């Protein structure tokens, strides 16, 4: 099967659902050979969970060397060669096609829009097909949740130490039950924090 020579790595920027397909947008994956990828949009079949379409923002690593050769032999052509240009590649049904180069394909928002439109067209979906976008949970979001968990669990522990009525009630419980209560308050507070945070970010 003729797919991009990707070996792994890269950062998943977004996840999508397009009709009966799922897709991910990956930035700067590791690859074999002279072709390097800035972005790769991968579409999976929902039933088989296998990739059916790749849309890539790609650049030939040898471009700089070729540019140097052209500059020496045909300097008049150099102004027409843009080293910032990326080429838009399509991998589908065992065929790799190149649909043109532009500096736009190095821009994440422009590439994403183009890839979504191409995916709809190539998978024969109508223009108004439902597309949902899911932002992956990043390190910062996880860190905020951990901080929230510690804060709420800590608050429960402070109340245990400082408020007489609550403290007396806690002291009447087995130690393992109190630990479970602290953890439960931490998780409940984290869930509430995450819900409020997602609404504020929307």
How far apart CA 168 and CA 11 sit, in angstroms, is: 50
| Predicted pLDDT at 186 | 63
Q: Please measure the distance between the N-terminal and C-terminal CA atoms of the chain and give it in whole angstroms.
A: 40
Q: Give residue-wise pLDDT tens across range 61-84.
A: 766 566 666 556 665 555 555 667
Confidence of residue 55 (pLDDT cuts 50, 70, 90): very high
| Predicted pLDDT at 171 | 64
How far apart CA 151 and CA 189 sit, in angstroms, is: 9
DSSP sequence for 2-70:
----EEE--EEEEEEEETTEEEEEEES-EESSSEEEEEEEEEEETTT--EEEEEEEEEETTHHHHHHHH
Q: Of 31, 24, 25, which is closest to residue 9 (Cα–Cα)? A: 31
Asked whether residue 22 carries a pLDDT value surpassing 60, the answer given is yes
| Predicted pLDDT at 84 | 75
What is the pTM (predicted TM-score) of this model?
Answer: 0.62
| CB count in 10 Å sphere of residue 1 | 7
How far apart CA 52 and CA 106 sit, in angstroms, is: 23
Asked whether residue 56 carries a pLDDT value surpassing 80, the answer given is yes
| Predicted pLDDT at 202 | 43
Residue ranges of the domains in the chain? 6-134, 139-201
- Torsional sign, CA 35, 40, 45, 50: positive
| Predicted pLDDT at 139 | 43
Query: What percent of the chain clears pLDDT 90, i.e. is strictly above it?
Result: 34
Q: Give residue-wise pLDDT tens across range 90-145.
A: 999 989 998 888 999 999 999 999 999 999 999 999 988 988 887 654 544 554 55
How far apart CA 94 and CA 97 sit, in angstroms, is: 10
Asked whether residue 29 carries a pLDDT value surpassing 70, the answer given is yes
Q: Give residue-wise pLDDT tens across range 159-182.
A: 555 545 555 655 666 756 656 666
| Predicted pLDDT at 151 | 56
Asked whether residue 88 carries a pLDDT value surpassing 80, the answer given is yes
């Amino acid at each position: 099967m003729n797919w991009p020579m990707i070996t792994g790595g890269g950062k998943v920027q977004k996840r999508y659902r397009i009709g009966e397909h799922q897709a991910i947008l990956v930035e700067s994956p590791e690859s074999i050979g002279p072709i390097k990828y800035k972005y790769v949009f991968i579409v999976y079949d929902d039933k088989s969970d296998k990739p059916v379409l790749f849309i890539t923002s790609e650049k030939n690593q040898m471009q700089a060397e070729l540019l140097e050769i052209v500059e020496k032999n045909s300097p008049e052509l150099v102004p027409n060669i843009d080293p910032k240009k990326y080429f838009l590649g399509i991998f589908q049904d065992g065929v790799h096609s190149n649909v043109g180069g532009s500096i736009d394909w190095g821009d994440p928002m422009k590439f994403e829009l183009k890839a979504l439109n191409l995916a709809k067209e190539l998978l024969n979906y109508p223009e108004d097909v439902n597309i949902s976008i899911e932002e992956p949970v990043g390190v910062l979001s996880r860190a905020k949740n951990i901080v929230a968990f510690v804060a709420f669990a800590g608050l429960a522990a402070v109340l245990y130490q400082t408020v007489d009525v609550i403290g007396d009630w806690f002291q009447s419980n087995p130690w393992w039950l109190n630990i479970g209560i602290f953890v439960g308050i931490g998780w409940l507070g984290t869930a509430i924090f995450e819900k409020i945070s997602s609404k504020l970010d929307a």
